[in-house]
Structure 1
Amino acid sequence: MGMRFFGAAFLGLACTFWIASASVPAQASPPADGQWERVFSEEFNGSKLDRRKWTRCYWWDKNGCTNLANKELQWYRPENVSVGGGHLRLTARPQKVIGHEGRTFNYTSGMVTTGRHYEERAGRDRFATKYGYFEIRAKVPRGKGLWPAIWLLPSTQEPRPEIDILEVLGHATNTYEMHLHYIKGGWQSAGKSAKTADLAAGWHVYGLEWRKDAVIWYLDGKELWRYTKAEGISQEPMYLLINLAVGGNWPGSPNAKTKFPAEFLIDYVRVWRRTGP
């Protein structure tokens, strides 16, 4: 999400490789090479969002929010976030609303974060961690102009560094986008695009291990990419964001074939921290 956050240019490396189709586990687990403790868990088994764990906007929440730098078309609203049937639902729909500085938006959508909003800026995030294994079981939507993402931002509320656990473009749901973004003599990015089975066709487990010396992406328990350049690996606490954007510089606008309402479904979010080698 962040390679376009605040208008940064995408400088990532585009590499493509094929992943064989495989049965999808109900859940994965942290890598076997170590000892772990669970530090965050959300199963979405209730009937409403647990506000002790989640906010529903970026930290600059002003009765809604968006990312203007990306030229996104949605205005995020609390009513587009719901919990039921064991899932979190982030729903995008055509709906004309007035948002930032009187600007008109033609779509609404939903997002959640474990951070803090503007009025809480002097406090702590609801959940943040330095390093760990993040695992999210999710079902992404299909359709031109849809842009689901799961990502990490620093607790300082700065736009960098950033780690994108998952990005998918609704018109290319057979491609898993993995990126990170950092500052070194200017804004820098690195990334890979992995060809996969159709991610919108069912549930998948998206995993990421963030270590002092590596960031490693997993799909359904299988490693896809390992980044090891020290300059790009965050060394500060970060919080989690999950959102369904509509439109923007990268995915483009929805077209007549894009089906609404569109839903980004999350089954669970789990985070572990290493306690031993």
Structure 2
Amino acid sequence: MTKMHIRIGALSILSILLFSCSSSDDPETEQVNPPDPDPDPVKEWSLVWEDNFDTDLSAWNAWDSGAFNEEVQLYTPSQLVLENGVLSVNVERKEVTGATIPGSMDQKMFPYTSGRIETKTTYGPSSAAGEQEYRFMARIQLPAGAGMWPAFWSFGDPWPTKGEIDILEARGNEPNQFQSNVFYGTTAGTATSFNNEEIYTNLDDLTADFHTYELIWAKDKLTILLDDVVKATYTTIRNHNISDLFDNKHKITLNVAVGGIFFPPGDRDITAYADTAVMKVDWVKVYKR
């Protein structure tokens, strides 16, 4: 399947094509098979930043609008709840009215409300600072239910020249799998086909408990891990090397969308979607070495 995505930078008015996983024919990734466990998730890594969600969301910007990709949710800060050191991103079926996209004066009615946050600070490796590798980690329990589209990802602004890395995307009606993707392009605000989707199947029920999703970002490769086990290593994105993303720091993003082009046409009937769902996030951490 091939999809177009639309995203924008944090609460900016810049409109750009994006969001989540798009696949392309014959993706040029190096698949790690069989996967090997990472010997020590934090050995020789220095902690840059972490949020254990035990105080507030002051490190994040929360969306208060709709989004793109034919999604049907209005993002509102009220759907983000902190309790006992866990962030809950709550999804509810209820009619609400809000801005169609961030910064827009146009209003419309949405049948769902959900939450999206992205870090105020950008992170990523930098040759100037001598930071050769970065590691983004989050411990997440995915939401269950048809129509749910949870994501843990990062992006640079402007897109796609500074890239996007989808560490985790999933469908609530497919609890035993998730996928990752990478985007990169040479013209800001212009859709790109330089992307690589990888789907990981036959997993434990990811909605039943917490699991750790990770990205290791090096100059010549990106590595995706689940519970310290390497799932895939990206070394190229079509005709562009992963090194083209180097020195482009990203905002880290957590959200649950509802519906949209991430789902096949036969799965876009919102009357069949779950009425409620929740994505729980225990913590987010950033390391470097």
Question: Which band: TM-score by shorter chain?
Answer: 0.7 to 0.9
Name the SS for the 1:237 alignment partner.
Answer: coil
1:56–1:171 distance in 2 versus 1, CA, 3 Å: same
- Higher mean alpha-carbon deviation, 230-239 vs 35-44, is at 230-239
Q: CA deviation at 1:254?
A: 6.1
* TM-score normalised according to structure 1 size: 0.79
Contact residue 3 and residue 180 of structure 1 kept, 8 A: no
1:206 aligns with 2:213: yes
Q: Partner letter of residue 159 of structure 2?
A: E
1:250 aligns with 2:265: no
1:19–1:213 distance in 2 versus 1, CA, 3 Å: closer
- Higher mean alpha-carbon deviation, 230-239 vs 192-201, is at 230-239
1:55 aligns with 2:61: yes
Name the SS for the 1:79 alignment partner.
Answer: helix
Name the SS for the 1:183 alignment partner.
Answer: coil
Q: CA deviation at 1:144?
A: 1.0
The alignment-based identity, stated in percent, is 26
Aligned to 1:86: 85
Aligned to 1:221: 228
1:71–1:255 distance in 2 versus 1, CA, 3 Å: closer
Q: What does 1:136-155 align with in structure 2 at a 5 Å threshold?
A: 136-154=138-156
1:128 aligns with 2:129: no
Aligned to 2:118: 113
Q: Partner letter of residue 158 of structure 1?
A: W
Aligned to 1:38: 47
Aligned to 2:67: 67
Contact residue 144 and residue 278 of structure 2 kept, 8 A: no
1:260–1:38 distance in 2 versus 1, CA, 3 Å: same
d(CA) in 2 for partners of 1:257 and 1:199?
A: 21
Q: CA deviation at 1:50?
A: 2.7
Q: Partner letter of residue 106 of structure 1?
A: P
d(CA) in 2 for partners of 1:80 and 1:232?
A: 38
Segments ≥4 residues shifted beyond 6 Å: 14-20
Q: Which of 231, 238, 251 is the aligned partner of 2:250?
A: 238
Q: Partner letter of residue 199 of structure 1?
A: L
Q: Which of 188, 199, 205 is the aligned partner of 1:193?
A: 199
d(CA) in 2 for partners of 1:174 and 1:39?
A: 32
Normalized per residue, which structure has more helix? 1
Q: CA deviation at 1:255?
A: 5.2
Contact residue 166 and residue 182 of structure 2 kept, 8 A: yes
d(CA) in 1 for partners of 2:256 and 2:85?
A: 19
d(CA) in 2 for partners of 1:144 and 1:17?
A: 30
* TM-score normalised according to structure 2 size: 0.76
d(CA) in 1 for partners of 2:61 and 2:236?
A: 32
1:4–1:96 distance in 2 versus 1, CA, 3 Å: same
Name the SS for the 1:242 alignment partner.
Answer: strand
Aligned to 1:172: 174
Contact residue 114 and residue 128 of structure 1 kept, 8 A: no
d(CA) in 2 for partners of 1:97 and 1:17?
A: 44
Q: CA deviation at 1:18?
A: 9.8
Q: Which segments of 5 or more consecutive residues in structure 1 lack a partner in the other structure?
A: 23-27, 58-63, 116-125
Q: CA deviation at 1:107?
A: 0.6
Q: 1:76-102 deviations in whole A, cap 9, x for unaligned?
A: 001011111110011110121222212
d(CA) in 2 for partners of 1:147 and 1:129?
A: 25
d(CA) in 1 for partners of 2:160 and 2:62?
A: 18
1:135–1:10 distance in 2 versus 1, CA, 3 Å: closer
1:260 aligns with 2:275: yes
d(CA) in 1 for partners of 2:150 and 2:269?
A: 14
Q: Partner letter of residue 147 of structure 1?
A: W
